[in-house]
Structure 1
Amino acid sequence: MEKTPSHADTAHREVAGSSPDGIPQGSVDTTRWWRYANLRALNLWMFVPLLSIFSQGFDGSMMNGLQSVSHWQSYFGQPKGATLGIFNAAYPLGGIAGVFLISPIADRLGRRIGLATGAALCCLGAALQGGALNIAMFVVARVIIGAGSVVVAGVGSPWVTEIAHPAQRSTMTALFLTFYSIGSIVAGWCTFGTFRIDGTASWRIPSSLQALPSIIQVLLVWWVPESPRWLVDQGRNQEALDMLAKYHGEGDASDPVVVFEYNEITAALEAEKKEMGGQTVVQDLVAFFKTPGNRKRSFIMVWAAICSQMSGNAFVSYYLSPILTSVGLTSDLQQTLINATNQMLSWFSALYFATLPAKIGRRIMFLCSLVAMWIVVICITAGSAVFANDSNNKAAAYTVVVFLYLFSPAYNFGFNGNLGLYIPEILPYRLRTRGLAFFYFVQFSFMTLSTFAIPVGLENIQWRLYIVFIAWIVVEFVGVWFTFPETKGPSLEDIAHIFDGPPARDTAAEKGLKDAPSPIEKTPAE
């Protein structure tokens, strides 16, 4: 639930001359952003960091598709059970290693260098994957891709959050994870188009194409504006102000939105430096458990990571082929076509749902998504059980297929764009990249568990494995209900107040508006 504004909240907004959502009224009409040259350029350049999650979506859909490609199956010896689990688990294992690169690169060298480094690793891994000569080479390549993809995701997500116009931040950040579905669509149709090729090119082509978004990023990342928060943290305040003025105020440094943002950023980072300045990485990690607010953030990140990987989504992301086989759909054509069209439905739903967090709130979307997934998994389980008892029951098989299609929209409602927005915005600047690294560490750890365990479970207990997820989603719902606060409304810096209480306001937002030095004379109150 949203916090009811206190007297201090009202006073703060009166000082800022802001609208009810905490953002001052600027000279730029963001509802018609395409009319403003600099804001239009910013939103177009944001396409580069938005591509950061593309590789993860491509990977799951590609591996789904390759399991339906006869030449891939025969080349690698018909992998099943634990062997198939190793193929898929190699990717998140690489991601676990990659999380340790996110903060050192992105916080010390900047968001541009961080993104470029991760993208370069993805290019290397995709080249090795496309040219793999044996299982070991294919698995190593997937480890490298996993490491690179988590770096670009861990850098790209906060970068979008930090450079987007405040009036567009929730939508732009929510759009981040929709590119997962775009990657899935490209991979799905690619494997559908190449499975007919008589030779190893049927799987080498999609394996190599995983480098495509990373190549685009390596080439274009140098034109994306650097994060003003990172610039202020490096003492480059004038560059930060110039960036805000150019892209959020169309060159007007006295624009109320620009002044508000600059003062909030400088004041918040000044307060964070006093509290955490000079700490080592280990001390920063300890900070996640030092205060009640940070302990709550840490629990939310862990729980959100678990919900994002242990709600049954691994079935659709990595093991669609064996599930379809279990209900009698065995041909390459059927399976690759279902995979490709399912990814299109996933993208359409993700794209629309990315516009909703700013309208209906984050918390309600998480809860509704879990309820929807629970219902879908129950229906998949029931259909699979009926078909297992009567293999001639086509209605049961088609029921499973229909609800496999519906799972992605149910998941996307709360755990696509909404999750990509929620995690970066609950973290203060100094903990943002380290917090995302921690989040991805937990997420990829559970992804490793699910991708390795599910094929073993499907091989040994078939549809009965789904029952575990029916029970577990109920537990996830309870955790979200009692611990996830609503963050709809406040500015990026003001969200800290929800977790840290009124003292954070005195040292950040109010101090920023009243006392923070600014190189410009006009203030939002004028």
Structure 2
Amino acid sequence: MARHAAPTGRTLADVLPPNVTFWSPHIVQLNLRLFVMLIGGICMGFDSAMMNGLQDLETWRDYFHDPRSWLLGVVNAVLNVAPIVGGMPVAWLSDRYGRLLCVRLGCLLLVFASALQAGSRNLGMFVAARFLIGFGIELCVVSGPVLVSELAYPAYRSQMTSLFLCFFYVGSIIASWTIFGTSQMANTSWSWRIPSLLQAFVPLVQGCLSFLVVESPRWLYSKGRQDEARDILVRFHGGGDPDSPLVDYEMEQIREYFESDSEAKKLKWTGLWKTVADRKRLLLVIYIAFMTQVCGSALISYYLTLVLNTIGITTTTTQTLINAILSIVCCLVAVIGAFLVDRLGRRFLWLSAVSGMLITFAIWTALSAQFEKHNTDTLARGVLAFVFLFQASYSFGITPLSFTYAAEILPFHARQKGIGLIYMCNSIALIYNNMVNPVAMDAIGWKYYFVFIGLLVQWLIVIYYFFPETKGQGLEELQNLFEPDTIQNLAKTDDLEAISREEVDRKQAMTAVTEHAE
């Protein structure tokens, strides 16, 4: 696969206008449209916190005859069955008919399913509604971040894409505080029906506002609609200037990519693993998909109640309040991490986040063991503090990078299907979490934490040796990270001067783009 050189020897840093900032009018207009796609992350976080909170409500437990252990796992896990069944069709639909269509269909389905969930008369109806909610969330989550990454202004692409999962915590905040309020409504099923119905609000707003959003220029180009793609880039990247050097550069990069990549317009599933570079990328994104879910964070997202029970915090009011406060803390930390992805770099965020998770989980486990022996309030508060620190570490690095990193390392022909595959793998991992975690916690309590400590150790090693840095480069340029070494290829021509010049240009471009973003 050919390397995509910068047209006429220019780099992205050379064509980025120095007077354009985050608050330039055309950038604000673009980011407001991207914001519509970003709020899709709210649906994920709302459901997670809602199900966490509903387990605290006596009215919900009594209405559905107190589901526990494997049955409780089914109620949570069914949400993730839909993405496994529909992952491949949804990715194909997005590649065939566009990113926006998928998001709109997802919003429509979420509104219907949320109403069905709020009106549930029995557990079977509740579970069926959650299956449909899972399908709706998938339609929004698989396509939304891809559209953001392909449409965002180059200097702010990583920050905007990283914000997608930060909205997960916005949803968590809304749901957890709603349930904290409705928990005071004793002896009425509206204490859980109101949060269930509220789940329809964000997709309703997103679906309506999606008609103000434009389609991905890269997707338009792949469908032979080059003029439309250029018009969008002129409007939102060039500030209306048809002669913008940045727009010329981007269009040339996209053109060269489609001309040199035989898979770019085919958009087949085989494009995910056809070459050695494709297989490297595929293995990496699948690994990320599983590890982000089985590292222990899902234990807090879905079963915080069980964790709190192990340290003697059992009252509904206290548990729902802790859940609500934790959502706010995680949201703030995740936003900070999202805006630092270019300044600190992806590798630093990966390594610092997983290191922090490993250290805090180890201390959390040790304190839990001591609590079992001594059962003191001091130890309980210590465990709770390190639960917060663990989730903050996850939010700082893993939340911003989960989709951003995958969208960067995947080329266009594999990007949408790769994100769909990630969500499928996420769902498989979450089904494991939802079926195994409650059973394991009931059986062995805090001793189950050792499994996650082992997983975090190996994750840290894999990141150090196999995760490349991606900051400071355009989407079409990033696929070179996994191609045969560019310097070795050039060395065969004995053009050492060209090698040196290219490496200097590349490093200067990475530095300049990062500084511009800051």
TM over 0.5: yes
Letter in 2 for 1:348: L
Q: Which residue of 1 aligns with 2:299?
A: 315
C-alpha displacement of 1:17: 3.4
Match of 2:396 in 1: 413
The answer as to whether partners of 1:24 and 1:260 remain within 8 angstroms in 2 is no
Q: Which residue of 2 aligns with 1:257?
A: 246
Name which of 318, 322, 335 aligns with 1:351. Answer: 335
Asked if 1:23 is matched to 2:13, the reply is: yes
1:426-445 correspondence runs (5 A):
426-445=409-428
TM-superposed CA distance for 1:34, in Å, is: 2.3
Which runs of structure 2 are paired with 1:401-480 in the superposition (5 Å)?
A: 401-480=384-463
Q: 2:464 aligns with which of 481, 488, 508?
A: 481
Q: Per-residue deviation at 1:16?
A: 4.4
Q: Provide the residue aligned with 1:233 in structure 2.
A: 222
Q: Which residue of 2 aligns with 1:35?
A: 24
What pairs up with 1:46-195 in 2 under 5 angstroms?
A: 46-195=34-183
CA distance in 1, matches of 2:443, 2:485: 54
Contact 2:84–2:427 (8 Å) recurs in 1? yes
Task: Indicate if the aligned counterparts of 2:272 and 2:279 stay in contact, CA closer than 8 A.
Answer: yes
Distance in 1 (CA, whole Å) between partners of 2:266 and 2:457 is: 43
CA–CA distance in structure 2, aligned partners of residues 334 and 48 of structure 1: 34
How far apart are the structure 2 equivalents of 1:355 and 1:69? Answer: 36
Contact kept in structure 1, 2:45 and 2:167, CA below 8 Å: yes
Deviation, 1:14, is 8.5
2: distance between equivalents of 1:434 and 1:421?
15
Which amino acid letter does the alignment assign opposite residue 119 of structure 1? Answer: C
Q: Which deviates the most, 341-350 or 292-301? A: 292-301
Aligned equivalent of 1:365, options 318, 329, 349: 349
Matched, 1:491 2:474: yes
| Pair 1:287–1:104, CA change in 2 (3 A) | closer
Deviations along 1:342-378, whole A, 9 cap, x unmatched?
0000000001110111111112211211111111211
CA distance in 1, matches of 2:24, 2:205: 26
Q: 2:184 aligns to what?
A: 196
Measured after TM superposition, the shift of residue 420 of structure 1 is: 2.2
Alignment-derived partner of residue 515 in structure 2: none
After TM superposition, the score normalised by the length of structure 2 is: 0.90
Deviates more, 1:243-252 or 1:399-408: 399-408
1: distance between equivalents of 2:396 and 2:291?
Answer: 13
1:46: how far off? 1.0
The residue type equivalent to 2:227 in the other structure is Q
What SS does structure 1 have at the residue aligned with 2:477?
A: coil
Conserved 8 A contact 1:26-1:249: no
SS in 2 for 1:494: helix
Tell me the amino acid that sits aligned with residue 404 of structure 2: L
Task: Measure how far apart 1:414 and its partner are.
Answer: 2.0
Aligned-pair CA distance for 1:25? 3.1
Question: Could you say if the C-alpha distance between residues 368 and 496 of structure 1 is closer, same or farther in structure 2, counting changes exceeding 3 Å?
Answer: same
Which residue of the partner structure matches residue 514 of structure 2? none
User: What is the alpha-carbon distance in structure 1 between the residues aligned to residue 259 and residue 190 of structure 2?
Assistant: 55
Matches within 5 A, 1:285-364: 285-364=269-348
Letter in 1 for 2:140: V
Aligned residues of 2:403 and 2:419 also touching (Cα < 8 A)? no
Deviations 1:285-309 (A, max 9, x none): 3332221111111111111012100
Say if 1:481 and 1:502 are closer, same or farther in 2 by CA, change over 3 A: closer
- Equivalent-residue separation in structure 2 for 1:233 and 1:312 (angstroms): 40
SS at match of 2:438: helix
Q: Are the aligned partners of 2:222 and 2:264 in contact in 1 as well (CA < 8 Å)?
A: no
Partners in 1 of 2:13 and 2:246 — Cα distance? 7
The letter of the residue matching 2:241 is D
Indicate the SS of the match to 1:23. helix
SS in 2 for 1:327: coil
Contact 1:269 1:429 in 2 (8 A): no
Contact kept? 1:28, 1:250, Cα under 8 Å: no
In the other structure, the counterpart of 1:5 is none
Q: Distance in 2 between matches of 1:406 and 1:242?
A: 46
Moved more, 242-251 or 284-293: 284-293
Determine the C-alpha separation between the residues in 2 that align with 1:416 and 1:276: 29
Partner amino acid, structure 1, of 2:429? F
Counterpart Cα distance in 1 of 2:298 and 2:263: 40
**Which range is displaced more, 495-504 or 233-242?**
495-504
Separation of aligned partners in 1, 2:263 and 2:29: 36
After superposition, give the CA deviation of every residue in 1:483-522 in whole Å (9 maximum; x if it has no partner).
211111111100011112468999xxxxxxxxxxxxxxxx
Q: Take 1:173 and 1:501, find their aligned partners in 2: how far apart are those partners?
A: 28
Shift of 1:170: 1.0
Distance in structure 1 (CA, Å) of the matches to 2:220 and 2:7: 28
- 2:6–2:253 CA contact under 8 A, matched in 1: no
CA–CA separation in structure 1 for the residues paired with 2:229 and 2:300: 43
User: Share of identical aligned residues, percent?
Assistant: 35
C-alpha displacement at 1:110, in angstroms? 1.1
The answer on whether the counterparts of 2:78 and 2:127 sit within 8 Å (CA) in structure 1 is: yes
CA distance in 1, matches of 2:19, 2:400: 24
> Unpaired runs of 5+ in structure 2?
491-518
Aligned length: 486
> In 1, Cα distance between the equivalents of 2:129 and 2:18?
46
2:371 alignment partner, one of 371, 387, 391: 387
CA RMSD of aligned residues (A): 1.9
Structure 1, unmatched stretches of 5+, are: 1-7, 507-526
Which of the residues 234, 243, 248 maps onto 2:237? Answer: 248
Asked whether the 8 Å contact 2:57–2:183 carries over to 1, the reply is: yes
Partners of 1:435 and 1:311 in 2: how far apart? 21
CA distance in 1 between partners of 2:266 and 2:15 (Å): 37
Matched residue SS, 2:476: coil
Change (3 A) 1:472 1:312: same
